[in-house]
Amino acid sequence: MDSGHIKNAVVGFLLLLISWGVPSMVGSQEPRPGTITAVTVYPGIANVERTVALPEGEPGQRLLQLGPLPSSLRDSSIRVTVEGEVQVLSVKVRRSSGDPVEPQSLKDLRSQITEVKKSLLALQRQDETLAAHQARYEGLVPEKPGSSVNSPLSKEAWQGLAELILSGMKNATDQRILLAPEILVAKSTLEKLEQELETYEFNSGRNKAVIEIESLDLSGKGGVFRVEYQVTGAIWKPIYQVHVQEATDQVHLKSYAEVYQWTGEDWPAVPMFFSTSLPESGAEPGSLAALKIERPRFLQPEPVMSRKSKPLTNNGVDYIESPRRRPEQLKRGRIREQPPVLGGLSFDRGEVFFYEAEDKAGIADGLDDRGFLTVFEAIHAEQVESTGSPHRRLYSVDTLPFKAVHRCVPELETAVFRRLLLSLNGEDPLLAGEVSVFAGRGYLGMTRIENTVAPGEEWALDLGTMDQIVVSRNTVESEETRGLLSRLTEYRTETRLKLENYGDSAETIEILERIPVSDDESVSIEIDKSKTEPAPENQKPVDGILRWSVTVEPGKSRELRLIWTIQTPKDKILLRREAPERLGGE
């Protein structure tokens, strides 16, 4: 028997002796909070790593308690590793509702809220009274006496009464104006106090969990425990800042993770990671059941005056017309589900956790990762509080060359749009998200990366319109019958474009116009090449999209003329529809 087997046998024998001979454990009796050393945020949950030391003590079986921790931690996610001559025997979670007696600070906070509510109610009642006085004064104004109005009042008496009523209305209005700031301050104070109370109740010692670790310390020297666990109530999404440097044809791209967390524990300034994967999503392929298609066997009786019959309904809903089930999101071989977030409450596996912030339902929809399992690391370590408020953490800085493209689609909008074509460097994808665009010292606005960009892939960044280029479009349509024997109808369309450059530099613009396409051989669609000027770069596109590249000098204009015709038999009826299934090309 080798030395390894002998050592394992000795350890097992000692464990058996200790289990018989030691009736109780020694060690930490009070929970130790430990120190958060790293955090990884996933879509919907967070993995927290804490380090806690077991001090020197009596050799034998010892108990280490780590806490208090959020009660939303997932028991199955706990992982414990030890540095030192200590072996972990068991790990369990103990949850408690905490001290049933409220601390004095919490009672004082509740009293403050009560007093502020009373003060706000008194101010609101005073404002309502003044508003009622205003309305009453307005109703007291009599009609001005005159030749057409029989009034017991003279004009002098009417004027004096009107001045008195206006004075009363003015006094009520002035008092309401003075009262408005007090009401705003009272509302703001009440909102802050209620938020503080909710945070205090959630982050206090109530509804907390403690991880109890039973270990075997034969030397009594203790050791360092590294404990990892997952908690619900954390989400992140990518957002970007782009600084366009036109002098060098480059963009300065900063990638941020916008983190929201209401887990019940504040995260200090420690290394933080942001992952696109979901730890609870396994990799099993699943199974398929037989898929059978058949007609309903039973039909409702036909009405006497109808030849139609409808299939039997299921709870009042027709089989044919019943709505489809909501499609699940399928990713990487398994349906990935996330804890739904509903109006201030996070529901996860039957447990409810409160968070303080605006509705996060739109953020928790999931990341568009295109199957990339990527982990990003924050460049700077900063604290993230458990308030549900957004925290931005920078995780990437890149400089990318770009090619500027100016495009105009006059049929849709007579404006020239600026677009940058870029190629993504590095090994990490660029996740879909919102982009803030800056040029020089100016802020251009918001745009969006609609789809995740793979490394090495080209992507486009839209920067809005060019105000210095003015485009006008005019289209004239006509119809004519041709031929004596074979009667044909010819539809003629003439489109004129004018581009004017009011800037101080020449601009090259890509123009897109379209003509119809048809698979019917009896329908002829042709461009009048003799009158179309200048000619498009692509003469016979499969999708009908014509392209021009036009340069407009500063202070000058350019004109384009496009004429195309459709010839079809006179008795043929034509229908027009969008055809996105057709791809470009000659």
Q: How many domains does the chain have?
A: 2
Two tokens, residue 318: 């027709």
Please name the amino acid found at residue 39.
V
For residues 199 and 387, is the Cβ–Cβ distance under 8 A?
yes
Residue 8's pLDDT band, with cuts at 50, 70 and 90, is low
Tens of pLDDT, residues 78-111: 999 998 889 999 999 998 765 556 677 778 888 8
Share of the chain above pLDDT 70, in %: 74
The answer to whether residue 210 scores a pLDDT higher than 70 is: yes
pLDDT at residue 583 is higher than 90: no
- pLDDT at residue 406 in the model: 92
Residue 114 in domain: yes
**Alpha helices per DSSP H over 413-509:** none
Residue 460 placed within a domain: no
pLDDT of residue 89: 93
pLDDT surpasses 70 at 141: no
* CA gap 520, 7 in Å, rounded: 86
3-state secondary structure of 554: coil
Question: Is 255 part of any domain?
Answer: no
332 vs 434, residue with greater confidence: 434
Do the strands 317-318 and 313-314 form a parallel or antiparallel pair, or are they unpaired? antiparallel
92 within some domain: no
Residues of the domain holding 556: 469-569
Summarize the confidence of residues 449-476 as an average pLDDT: 90
Q: pLDDT tens for residues 549-571?
A: 999 999 999 999 999 999 888 87
Lowest mean pLDDT among 150-154, 261-265, 480-484: 150-154
**Across-strand partners of 558?**
499
Domain limit, last residue, from 203, 235, 269:
203
pLDDT at 357 over 50: no
Question: Which pLDDT value is given to residue 315?
Answer: 39
Q: Quick check: is 196 in a domain?
A: yes
For the chain, the average pLDDT equals 79
Across 22-36, 336-350, 446-460, 474-488, least confident range: 336-350
544: in domain = yes
In this predicted model, which residue has the larger pLDDT, 120 or 290? 120
Contact yes or no for 187/149 (Cβ under 8 A): no
Q: What is the pLDDT of residue 296?
A: 57
Report the pLDDT averaged over residues 146-160: 65
Q: What is the pLDDT, as a whole number, of residue 439?
A: 86
According to the model, what pLDDT value does residue 108 have? 86
Whether residue 198 lies inside any domain: the answer is: yes
Confidence of residue 277 (pLDDT cuts 50, 70, 90): confident
**What does the pLDDT read at residue 283?**
55
* pLDDT given at position 322: 34
- DSSP readout, 219-264? SS--EEEEEEEEEEEEEEEEEEEEEEETTTTEEEEEEEEEEEE-SS
Mean pLDDT score, 15-35: 61
Taking residues 425-438, report their average pLDDT.
91
**Beta-bridge partner residues of 524:** 567
Residue 398 lies in a domain: no
- Is residue 152 over pLDDT 50? yes
Q: State pLDDT tens for residues 411-424.
A: 999 999 988 999 99
Q: Which of 168, 187, 203 is the last residue of a domain?
A: 203
Query: Counting runs of H as helices and runs of E as strands, what totals does the chain give?
Result: 3, 29
Which stretch of 20-24, 318-322, 387-391, 520-524 has the lowest confidence by average pLDDT? 318-322
> Among the listed ranges 488-497, 514-523, 548-557, which one has the minimum average pLDDT value?
514-523
Lowest mean pLDDT among 194-208, 230-244, 518-532: 194-208
Q: In angstroms, what CA-CA distances link 275 with 237, 278, 385?
A: 10, 8, 19
Domain boundary among the residues 185, 203, 221 is at 203
Q: Which tops the pLDDT comparison, 10 or 501? A: 501
Name the least confident of 190-204, 460-474, 507-521, 524-538: 190-204
- Strand duo 35-41 + 272-275: pairing: parallel
Is residue 328 pLDDT above 50, yes or no?
no
- For range 454-472, the mean pLDDT: 90
- Model pLDDT, residue 581: 65
